[in-house]
Structure 1
Amino acid sequence: MTAHRSLIRRAAAVATAATAAVALAACGGGNDGSAGHDGHGRTSSPSTSASAGQGEHNGADVAFAKGMIPHHRQAVEMADLAQSRARSAEVRKLAAEIEKAQDPEIRTLSGWLASWGEEVPEEGRSAGHGEHSMSGMMTPEEMDELEKASGTAFDTAFMQMMIKHHEGAVEMARTEQADGAYQPAKDMADAIVTSQSAEITRMNELLGNN
């Protein structure tokens, strides 16, 4: 009798354990599936998006880099002239800031193009000659005029030309903000809009236009 009751208790215990195991497996499986789905949706998707945003580029990014390189090169050339020709210390300071900001950006833009298998624009005035009308770049004649100026006349010509130049850069940067896909390029465009808009205001104030 004792043995019979013991057998019944063991059978009941096994049945209870089996039921609990089945319930636990079903519950755990549902949670794992739900957590796994939510996890992928909440963690891997942003990661994938971030990776795509950093790594992918489109035609607008290429156009931005190819246009901004000669544009920046000309600004640096203009800034170099200011160091020996400008009368105003404020103009020389502004020119130095422009050169300091744009030289590294030229290298960055060139690196992007190389990594994308695109050609980096050639150096020299002729490379950017065809773009002056759409991007605010100076014509060779305007650059010659600036080179021949000195003192107060240089200061005025430099700021007037650089305002036009910056306005072209801001326009190009806004196009990249709207149409680009490569996040570092869009970030650079943001920085260009902010910094060069501020410099336009500063130059207008020095010219007495505000």
Structure 2
Amino acid sequence: MRQNLWKTAAFIAFTGLVLAGCGGNDSGSMPGTDHSQPSSSQTSASAQAGDFNDADVTFASRMIPHHQQAVQMADMAIRKATTPEVKKLAGAIKAAQDPEIKTMSGWLTAWGKPVPAQSHGGHSAEEMPGMMTDDEMSDLGNAKDGMFDRMWTEMMIKHHLGAVAMAKAEQTGGKNAGATALAKKVEADQNREIATMRRLLRRLPAN
């Protein structure tokens, strides 16, 4: 009798192992474990890369060189400005726009579009409003002391106004959520800096 009970228990245990093994094999066909199908993260990344239109490409392609020139002007002010407020503002502009250049460059790469080189020529004022000409940049580089501070502030206001116009156009016509969000941020940040610079101009020497 005791021997029969032992055999029965062994059979039940063996049957349980076989059933568990079969259940484990079935798990390989569950959704998400079939590597022949794209994962949700891969699908999302693919959709994000394709979620753009011509306005998004134009915004990134033109705002990159626009930002590059602003950073160039900021570097000049960090070196040459005599007014602490101008130096501080220049540092803030560089800190904000350098990462935005990298972000927009990443978008263009993901979209299969060319990333603009470090060059500010070949664009009309209609394409990139607020951009300084080569002569204006040369004049700024040659200015000294208080004259530099005032010239830089006036030119940066003009530059920022151009960026705000470009940002508004992106918010109106763009499709990519990241690009339109950045455009909204650019508009808010640069309008705030324009107000700061206009107040600063009232305290800078005229000549």
| TM-score normalized with structure 1 length | 0.71
| 1:122 equivalent in alignment to 2:117 | yes
- Between the aligned partners of 1:178 and 1:132, the Cα distance in structure 2 is 20
Q: Which has the larger radius of gyration?
A: 1
Deviation at 1:122, TM superposition (A): 1.3
User: 5 Å matches for 1:1-210?
Assistant: 56-126=51-121, 129-133=122-126, 134-208=128-202
Number of residue pairs the alignment of both structures matches: 158
Deviation, 1:52, is 6.2
Contact 1:75 1:162 in 2 (8 A): yes
Higher mean C-alpha deviation, range 51-60 or range 199-208: 51-60
Q: Quick check: 1:54–1:184 contact (8 Å CA) kept in 2? A: no
What CA deviation, in whole Å up to 9, does each residue of 1:121-155 have, x standing for no partner?
A: 111233xx423454110000000001001211011
State the identity %. Answer: 48
CA displacement, residues 153-180 of structure 1 (integer Å, 9 cap, x when unaligned): 0110001000000000000000000100
Say whether the 8 Å CA contact 1:88–1:155 is kept in structure 2.
yes
Residues 166 and 85 of structure 1: is their aligned pair in 2 closer, same or farther, counting only changes over 3 Å? Answer: same
How many angstroms apart in 2 are the aligned matches of 1:171 and 1:115?
A: 25
For 1:21, the equivalent position in structure 2 comes to none
**Inter-partner Cα distance in structure 1 for 2:62 and 2:93:** 17
Following the alignment from structure 2 to structure 1, what is the Cα–Cα distance between the partners of residues 89 and 110? 32
| Cα distance between partner residues in 1 of 2:50 and 2:178 | 9
Name the structure where helix makes up a greater proportion of residues: 1
Distance 1:90 1:117 in 2: 41
- The one-letter code matched in structure 2 to 1:194 is A
Aligned partners of 2:84 and 2:50: how far apart in 1?
A: 42
Specify every segment of 5 or more residues in structure 2 that has no aligned partner in the other structure, as ranges: 1-45
- Alignment partners' CA distance in 1, 2:47 and 2:192: 32
Which sections of structure 1, spanning at least 5 residues, go unmatched? 1-50
Task: Check whether the contact 1:65–1:113 (CA below 8 A) recurs between aligned residues.
Answer: yes
TM-score scaled to structure 2, two decimals?
A: 0.72
Asked if structure 2 preserves the Cα contact closer than 8 Å seen for 1:138 and 1:165, the reply is: yes
Instruction: Give the Cα–Cα distance (whole angstroms) in 1 for the partners of residues 129 and 159 of structure 2.
Output: 7
1:81 Cα deviation (Å)? 0.3
Deviation at 1:87, TM superposition (A): 0.7
Query: 4+ runs of 1 displaced by more than 4 Å?
Result: 51-55
**Does the 8 A contact of 2:49 with 2:110 survive in 1?**
no
